[in-house]
A and B are shown apart, each in its own frame.
Chain A
C-alpha cells in the first residue's frame, strides 16, 4: 500500500492578512508558513494506517514554490518515508489537482489522504478533483478511517452535518479527506527531525508531468472585510443588563 498524502503549505492561522497594493493577492513577506492543519491530520492518519497494515510506504506530496519543501520536511520528520515536490508556483487548484494525479500515477500510489480543505483558500477542491481525474471514489469530512487487514477495503466515518455521521465503505484505490477531531497529529520528534534530513525529496517540474499552467479561474480584487465597530457595553446590575439586552435585540436589532 503506497499512501500518498497531499499537503499544502499555508500561512499560519495567527497570520494577520495584508493585501497587496494592486489587490491581486496577499502580502507574503512576513508570513510564517505551516502545513495546513487538516493535512497534518492526514499525515498522522497515514502513519497510523501504515502501522496498522504493517506494510507499505507513506509519501507526502505537495505542489508549490521552493519554500513548500519545508512542509514536506515536516511530513518526513513526523515519519513519512518519502516526499515528492512538484515545483510549481500556480494559484490554480485545478493545475494542482492535475499534478497530484500525474504524480500518483507515475509513483503507483494506491490511496490518497488529504485534509478536507486547505485553510488559506478554504475550497476543498484539489482532492475531489484529483479523485475524478483518476476515476477513484472519494469521501470528505472523514473523522475515522479503518482499513480491512488486506488493505483493499476501507470503512470511513463521514461527518454529514453537525452531529450526524455516516459509516461509508469503499475499496482502494480511493481518496479520503480528513476533518479535525480524527486524531491528534504527532509532533515531529527531535530524532524524527534529524532522520528527515536523510530522506529523499523527489522533485518534478510541471513539464516532467506533461502539464502547463492554463488557469480556469481569475482571482482579483482582494479586500479586507469592513472593520466591525465596537458597539455598546451595557451597564447596571447584571439582571437589569440582561433584560436590557433582550429588549434591544428585539426592538433595536430585531433579531429575536
Chain B
C-alpha cells in the first residue's frame, strides 16, 4: 500500500501559509530584494504563526512536528520569497544538532527559549577555506579547565547578524579530519565573537549572510553537544533533516515562476493571439509542471523517511530531493524568464528575482555536485 494524501491539519497548514505569503510576503518581496534589508517583522509574524522551530517536542511546549510539515511550510514560503524562506527556516539548521544529539538539559537550556520569543539560531559549519570539503574545517576548539576555547572564522553564515545563538563546528585536531570535530553552542554575545558585513548577494537578498570570527571565545564545557569527534556526524545528520525543506523551498519558487509564466502567456499577445496558443510555450509549461510535481514527490518522500526514522534511506533520498529540486527550479525559473521575454529580464516582473534566488539552492547546504557525490557513492558502494 502506498498513500500520498496529506492530513487535514497539513492541508490547513498549507492553506494558512499560502494566505500569509499572499497577504504579507508577496507584496513586499521586491522591496526587500531591492534594499537587502532584513525582514524582522515578517520573521516575527512567521514565529507567531508557529512556522519556526517545529521539531521542539511537546513536553517543552513545542509542537513536536516532523520534517514533512517543514516541507509543506517551505514550499508555500518559497512561492513567496526564497530569501525569507531561508531566514525563517534556518533555525531548524541551528537547533536540529541539539534536538537530535543534546541531553534533556541541553535541549531545555539551548532550544526551549526559542518557543518564548522570535529569536534566531545560526549554523556555523562552512569556512573561507572549507565548503564542500566540510571535514577539512580549521576553526579550532581547545579544552581549558571548565571551558572550551574557540578560534577561527566561519563563512556564509545565514542570519548571523541577528542570531542569538550559534551552533559551531570546530576541530580539536585537524589531523584527525572528520573524526576530530566537535559541536559547540556559542551565545552570540560571547566575548570574542565578531561579525562581518552583510554579503551583497545576487539573490535571496532578504536573508542575512555574513562571516563570523571567533577570537578566544570561551564557552562552558556543558555547551558541547554529543561527544568529542561526533561533530561531523552531527552536522551531516542535521543536513539530512534540513535538505528536504530547503529543496521544497525551491519547489515552491519554481511553482510561483510557472504560475507567473502561465498567467503572462495567457495575456501576452503576439501574431494576434495569446502566446499560450503556441506549442513552443505549451511544452515549456508542461515540462515545468512535470518537474515541479517530481520535485515535490521527492521532498515528501525524503521527509516521510526522516519522520519514520529510516535514516539510511533518508540520507540518500534527501540528496535526490535537494539535487533535483534545486536544478529543476533553476531550469523552470530560466524558462519562465524566457516566456516573459524582454519583460522577464526586468524588475517589473517577479521572475528574474526567482531566477536569482533559486541559483543559491544549487549552492548552499551541499552543492548539486556534492549531492551527486552522495548519490553516486551509494550506487557504487560494494
Contacts and interface: CB of A to CB of B under 8 A. Distances in A.
B309 interface: no
B60 interface: no
Contacts of A194: 9, 63
A187 B50 CA distance: 11
State the 7 A-B residue pairs at the shortest beta-carbon distance, nearest first: A190-B50, A189-B49, A193-B12, A189-B50, A191-B50, A187-B16, A188-B16
Contact of A197 (B9, B13, B48, B49): B9
Interface residues of A, number: 12
Nearest to B24: A187
Nearest to B50: A190
B13 A193 contact: yes
Interface string A167-201: 00000000000000000000111111110010000
Nearest to B52: A190
Contacts of A96: none
Interface string B2-17: 0000001100110010
Contacts of A187: 16, 19-20, 49
16 contacts: A73-B8, A73-B12, A77-B12, A187-B16, A187-B20, A187-B49, A188-B12, A189-B49, A189-B50, A190-B16, A190-B49, A190-B54, A191-B63, A192-B50, A194-B9, A194-B63
B281 interface: no
Contacts of A192: 50
Per DSSP, chain A at the interface is helix
A180 to B, nearest CB: 13
B51 interface: yes
Contacts of B12: 73-74, 77, 188, 193
A193 B48 contact: no
A25 to B, nearest CB: 25
Residue of B9, B12, B20 with most partner-chain A CB within 10 A: B12
A183 to B, nearest CB: 14
Contacts of A189: 16, 48-50
A194 B62 CA distance: 12
A183 B130 CA distance: 51
Contacts of B20: 187
A66 to B, nearest CB: 14
B85 to A, nearest CB: 16
Contacts of B19: 187
A194 B19 CA distance: 18
Interface in B16-58: 16, 19-20, 48-51, 54
Contacts of A197: 9
A243 B382 CA distance: 81
Nearest to B61: A191
A21 to B, nearest CB: 26
